[in-house]
Amino acid sequence: MSLFSPKSAPHLDEISPLAAMPGGEVHLRGVHLIGAAPAQAMLGDVVAPLTLSRAAHAILRVPEGSVSGAVKIHSHGAESNGLLLNVAVPLAENLHPVANPAVDADGNLFATFSGPRGEKVPVSIFRIDRDYQVRPFVRDLLNATGIAFGKDGYLYVSSRAEGAVYRISPDGAISTYAEGLGVATGIAFDGDGNLFVGDRSGTIFKIGPSRDIFVYATLEPSVSAYHLAFNDQGTLFVTGPTTSSFDNVYAIDRDGTASVYYRGLGRPQGSAFDLGGNLYVAASLAGDRGIVRITPSREAELVLAGNGLVGLAFVEDGCAALATSNAIYHVAMDVEGRPLI
């Protein structure tokens, strides 16, 4: 005689967040998720470990090598309904990004191999074509750090070792754009073609199209880097991890006045905006690491789970390119990013 009853079958109501890196943990909520015997979770056709298993709440760790698919729970001798989890897949490995990747007007991705400070590496910047072929793009640039495209179609790159910004032509030729920028880290262009550069000691520099350099704002020193992003209104948003585990996102207006936009992220790093004005930051929120979305009303939510993230860039079809400390990943997020060029 079977003890199974449809009333005790597992049912999933929610999965949060809806996207994850391999190794990331997502929360499952529902009913009857665990019975007398241990429950088993499946991601597509791959068994996924549960780090927490309760009747109404389970935590699933995304297995290495898995892909997007339906999450299901097997418990009480029955299988639950499935909920889709988007899983990031690697595009390029054996890299060393320390900030956001960059996307050119044709949709090609660019990422750095930054290397230890003061140490040259064979290839400083790689190009990832739309067909996912990875090609060397720039050599002999010391400690490539922040990268961003200008409206001229050239790639601009900061060097934290040399305190400089370099201008890279579409064929990879290097020229010096600005010097004397301290420990230059994150960079971003505003709508008028001004380039902004974060110095790790707390200075945000503004470089006009004529290459005049101004001190735009001064913030608390960062322990690693500053990361910069503009919204449609021309406000500059700045993150930079400090020794605190409860860091700020700063907003700097057109006059250079800085204010705290959001407080409470752990080690916030690279960031990007979507078309709705939501800010996405690689950071921890309430102890969970991944990509955090901060709405214009300043409500924060983890939208992608994963460790080791240092930045992101939105690409076509609602997807994102995610940078870890050693690779670039691709994931569907159903987000249209703010154009940067």
Our CA dihedral for 128, 182, 227, 101, rounded to 10 degrees, sits at 0
C-alpha distances in Å from residue 67, one per residue of 19, 20, 90, 121, 310 = 11, 10, 10, 32, 21
Q: What values do phi and psi take at 252, rounded to 5?
A: -120, 120
C-alpha distances in Å from residue 322, one per residue of 76, 92, 222, 304, 327 = 38, 11, 22, 10, 8
Q: Is the dihedral of CA 146, 150, 155, 161 positive or negative?
A: negative
Report the distance separating Cα 328 and Cα 91, nearest Å: 6
Homologous superfamily (CATH) of 11-87 is Immunoglobulins (2.60.40.10)
Q: Which residue has the tokens 């597509």?
A: 44
Q: Give strand pairing partners of 261.
A: none
Query: Residues in the chain, how many?
Result: 341
Q: Specify the DSSP class assigned to residue 221.
A: P
C-alpha distances in Å from residue 46, one per residue of 37, 62, 63, 243 = 20, 10, 8, 39
Q: What is the pLDDT of residue 8?
A: 79
CATH 2.130.10.10: which residues of the chain?
89-332
Count CB-CB contacts under 10 A for residue 8: 14
Q: What is the pLDDT of residue 75?
A: 87
Count CB-CB contacts under 10 A for residue 111: 28
CATH 2.60.40.10: which residues of the chain?
11-87
The secondary structure of the chain in percent helix, strand, coil, rounded to multiples of 5, reads 0, 50, 50
Q: In the chain, where does DSSP find H-type helix?
A: none
Q: What is 122-162 written as a DSSP string?
A: S-SEEEE-TT--EEEEE-S-TTEEEEEE-TTS-EEEEETTT
C-alpha distances in Å from residue 131, one per residue of 20, 106, 127, 188, 239 = 23, 12, 11, 27, 32
Tokens of 43: 């991601």
Q: Which long-range contacts (CB under 8 A, 24 or more apart) does 290-295 make?
A: 290/17, 290/20, 290/21, 290/24, 291/19, 291/320, 291/322, 292/265, 292/268, 294/249, 294/261, 294/262
Q: What is the pLDDT of residue 37?
A: 63
Architecture per CATH, 89-332: 7 Propeller (2.130)
Report the distance separating Cα 273 and Cα 261, nearest Å: 14
Using CB atoms within 10 A of its CB, is residue 199 exposed (0-12), middle (13-18) or buried (19+)? Answer: buried
User: What H or E segment, with its residue span, contains residue 291?
Assistant: strand 288-294
pLDDT tens for the chain, 341 residues long, are: 344 556 678 999 999 999 999 999 999 999 999 865 678 999 999 999 999 989 999 999 999 999 999 999 998 789 999 999 999 999 999 999 999 999 999 999 999 999 998 899 999 999 999 999 999 999 989 999 999 999 999 999 999 999 999 999 999 999 999 999 999 999 999 999 999 999 999 999 999 999 999 999 999 898 888 999 999 999 999 999 988 889 999 999 999 999 999 999 999 999 999 999 999 999 999 999 999 999 999 999 999 999 999 999 999 999 999 999 999 999 999 999 998 87
Judged by DSSP in three states, 242 sits in coil
Q: What is the pTM of this model?
A: 0.95
Q: What is the pLDDT of residue 11?
A: 95
Q: What values do phi and psi take at 8, rounded to 5?
A: -105, 5
Type of residue numbered 113: F
